[in-house]
Amino acid sequence: MLDVDKIRKDFPILKRKINGKPLVYFDNAATSQKPQSVINAITHYYEYYNANIHRGVHTLSEEATEAYESSRSKVRNFIGAKETKEIIFTRNATEAINLVAYSWARQHVLPGDEIVLSPAEHHSNFVPWQILAQERGAKLVFLDLDAEGIVDLNSAAKIIGPKTKLLTITQMSNVLGTIMPVAQLAEMAHKQGAIVLVDGAQSLPHLPVDMQKLGADFFAFSFHKMLGPTGVGVLWGKASTLESMPPFLSGGDMISSVWRDKVTFNSLPWRFEAGTPNIADVIGSGAAITYLQALGMENVHKYEQELTEYALAKLSQIDNLAVYGTHDVNKRGGLISFNMAGIHPHDLGQILSESGICIRVGHHCCQPLMRDLNVSGTARASFYVYNTKEEIDSMVEALKEAQKVLGHVACK
C-alpha cells in the first residue's frame, strides 16, 4: 500500500493553513494538487532550456522538443496505446471532445442518426453533442441508470441500435462516483457499427486504464486532475480513425507544405496540434505520469477505495444526510456527493472552508443529472493519494457542527 505520510511531503501546498487550521483538500475531482517534482519540471524548463519546439536546430529547441515528445511517449505507455502518434495534446478534455465533435462527427453524423450518451455526462460531453445534433438533424438518445447510478446494461442493449452512430460515455461519474461498464457498452456499440468515445477525465487519475482492453475508439482526459498542471489535455484515438480526420485547428506546425492555392497537412499527431503548444506544462505532465507510475495505479485505486469506504461509514453517522450513488466501493471511485436536509450545499461549503476544508458545491457541470435527482446541487468531497482518514474525520466533525450552527437536527 501507499506510504501516505511520505507522499504528503511531496506536496508543498499541504503545509498551508486556512484560518489557522491545516488545509484539508477534498476538491480533487475539480483539480488535484501538484507534487514538487511536477513544479520542478516546469520551472526547470523555463530556467534552463526555454525555447519553441520542432524544426529548431539550436540546442535549446532540440532539448525542449525532446522533453515535449518524451511526455507523449509517457502518455502512450501510461494508457496502453499502440503508437505514440495516437496521442494528441489539447488544452483539456473538453477540447479533446470538441476535436472529435468537429473533426470526426461532422463528417459522419447524418440526419436521423442517433448519438447515445448517459444522463450522468459532464456538460463537456453533453453540450457539444447537443449542438451537433441540432446542426445535423441527429438525435440524442439517453441510456438508463439503475438504482446505484450505473448504466443499466439490459436497457442499453435495447437503446443502442442500428441508428446509433456514436456512443459517448463517461468512465466515471463526477457526481455519483460510479464506474460505468464501458467495455460492455463499447462492444454493443461496435456490433451496430458505431464509434465509441470515452470521457476519462475522472477515471484515468484514479484507475488503471488500458486502451487495448477498454474498447474505445477515442479517449479524452485532462492532466490537471491527475497531479499535472492546468492547460494540458489528451485525445487518444485509433491511428486509422485519426488518419481519416481533417484538422480541427489550422495554422503553424499542423502543415506539411503551403502554397498560395493549396496546403498539405502534417502527419499524426502534429496535424491536430496547430501553433505553439503549452510546452512547459506538457513537460510537467510527463513528470506527473512518472510520479503516478511510481505509486502504481492499482495501489492508487485500492487506497482511494479504502478512503471512500471509511468516509461512507462516517457520513452514515449523520442524520438527514443523503449520499448519491452506490455504497459499493467496488463500483465507484473516490468521490462522494451528498446533501443535508434543510441546508444549502453552498452554506455547507462555506462553513467547511472556515475550518480549512475544501469541498466542491453546486451542480458540478451536470445540470441534467441534478434535475433527475430532483436537487439544484450537491456537496462533493473527492479524494486522492495524499488524503487521510484523519482528514475525513475533520470533515465529518465540521459537517456535524454545521448542522448545529444552522439550527438543524442533532447528530448521532
Shared-domain flag, residues 206 and 228: yes
* pLDDT tens sequence across 282-316: 999 999 999 999 999 999 999 999 999 999 999 99
Q: Same structural domain for residues 24 and 60?
A: no
Calculate ∠ Cα 343-349-355, nearest 5°: 115
- CATH code of the domain containing 189: 3.40.640.10
Specify whether 206 is located in the same domain as 223.
yes
Domain membership flag for residue 379: yes
Q: Which amino acid is at 205?
A: P
- pLDDT at residue 408 greater than cutoff 80: no
Tell me the residue range of the domain where 270 lies.
39-293
Domain end (from 269, 293, 317): 293
In the chain, the number of structural domains is: 2
Q: Domain check: are 303 and 288 in the same one?
A: no
Residue 211 lies in a domain: yes
Clarify whether residues 303 and 382 are in a common domain: yes
In the structure, what pLDDT confidence band is assigned to residue 407 with cuts at 50, 70 and 90? low
Domain final residue, candidates 275, 293, 311? 293
- CA separation, residue 157 to residues 149, 153, 169, 186, 215 (Å): 17, 6, 15, 11, 16
**325 and 257 inside one domain:** no
Question: Whole-angstrom Cα distance, residue 325 to residue 320?
Answer: 16
Instruction: Say if residue 267 is in the same domain as residue 315.
Output: no
Same domain, 262 and 311: no
Among 260, 293, 326, the domain-final residue is 293
Q: What is the pLDDT of residue 266?
A: 86
Q: Is residue 364 in a domain?
A: yes
Q: Reply yes or no on whether 366 is catalytic.
A: no
Same domain, 248 and 341: no
Question: Is residue 69 one of the residues assigned to a domain?
Answer: yes
Q: What is the CATH number of the domain that holds 400?
A: 3.90.1150.10
pLDDT of residue 214: 97
Catalytic residue among 358, 365, 366, 411: 365
216-228 pLDDT, tens per residue? Answer: 999 999 999 999 9
CB atoms within 10 A of CB 276: 12
